[in-house]
Structure 1
């Protein structure tokens, strides 16, 4: 069943007009007719089943509210140094599928990529990618995608748990800090992890982040690419907080 988002509150038996994007995809592209059903998430992140009742005028009606939430138990933010080429798009798409709540991109000392005046345009495109990926993965929420001009601005964010994926920690055999943090992370809390770009994170930045309460940790014995590390982290969060609870 197709899955969409709409920026308005819905309730059972309510009739509403489809947005132009939804109408184009569901009616024009998929050739859906009257009584064709689809999932739709409203501005309050509630999931409903709706059906088309007037395809010509793009009118649908809510027929059922579903008690279904596929979001990660914790609010997870990934903070990424600027990666090269199309890697940022991949990070946004796959992290959305894996349940991330917020993605923050920021310049770092050793980053090769420079966004400068292109940042706003890139973030606008990334938000569309996140929207599409959230629909594809049937999320209840679309992740926020943001750009900050320096690591210093992270001090304006509040997280319950703050981590840095640090290559040197992995090289030194550190294996437990990530799992210790996740074991102490409870549903409803927030956790953030920062990932360096291809050039890594400078010692100066590590010290700066530590003053903000961030802790370095390894991500296992292998060295991961800048676009792979966030997926590893999100998968571990899911396994630790979702799959364990199924046992």
Structure 2
């Protein structure tokens, strides 16, 4: 069943008229007809099953009758923010798309000392808007109830001021030294509702000066296993580990 995020509150037995991109996707991409069932998610992250009862190709509108709520929990128990120094090419797209599918709550991108790519104020607005669209599409595909927010900071110094229950830096030097206890300890002691924020460097990693700033702000250095991961792979490793510890291992 296709899932869509809508911008209004709804309730069972209500008829909802959908327009714009959502209606276009139903009509032109999915070729839906009356009787098709869909899932709708409201701004307060409530999900419902609905049935298409009327299509108007001329006005490009779709009417859906809300049938029943969906109560299944699909979000990670820990609210996870992924912070990434800018990487080259389309790696930011990849991180947002796959990270959303794996349960990230928020993404923050920033210029960092080792970043080859750079976003100025004019460029970042368009980039953030594009990434937000990618996040919504990925959240619909993954049947999530939350669309991750995409944010921008000018530097890791600004990121150091962020608050969270658990603050980590994925540090390749820790991995080289065989350190793995910090991540395990952080995840095993985390409680539902805790907020975890983890910083990932671009190609080349996090610079020593940035490590000093983050450490002074209370961030802990954490290795991600014995192998050195690419910039776009490391966030996905973390999210998978969080899912295993907080979801699969507790079944």
Same structural fold, with TM-score higher than 0.5 when normalized by the shorter chain: yes
The one-character-per-residue Cα deviations of 1:27-79 (angstroms, maximum 9, x if unpaired) are: 23222122211011111101100111211142111011111120001100110
Distance across 2 between alignment mates of 1:65 and 1:173: 47
Shift of 1:157: 2.4
Report how many residues are paired: 246
SS for the counterpart of 1:55 is strand
What is the aligned partner in structure 2 of residue 3 from structure 1? 3
Question: Is 2:28 aligned against 1:24?
Answer: no
Shift of 1:170: 0.8
Unaligned stretches of 5+ residues in structure 2: none
Question: Is 2:178 aligned against 1:166?
Answer: no
SS for the counterpart of 1:119 is helix
Question: Is 2:198 aligned against 1:193?
Answer: yes
Match of 1:149 among 135, 147, 154: 154
Distance across 2 between alignment mates of 1:156 and 1:206: 14
Shift of 1:202: 1.1
Within a 5 Å distance, the mapping from 1:120-159 to structure 2 comes to: 120-159=125-164
SS for the counterpart of 1:111 is coil
Match of 1:96 among 93, 96, 100: 100
Unaligned stretches of 5+ residues in structure 1: none
What is the aligned partner in structure 1 of residue 222 from structure 2? 217
What is the aligned partner in structure 1 of residue 241 from structure 2? 236
What is the aligned partner in structure 2 of residue 69 from structure 1? 73
What is the aligned partner in structure 2 of residue 37 from structure 1? 37
Distance across 2 between alignment mates of 1:31 and 1:199: 46
What value does the CA root-mean-square deviation take over the aligned residues? 1.1
**C-alpha contact 2:33 2:52 (8 A) present in aligned 1:** yes
Q: TM-score normalised to the size of structure 2? A: 0.95
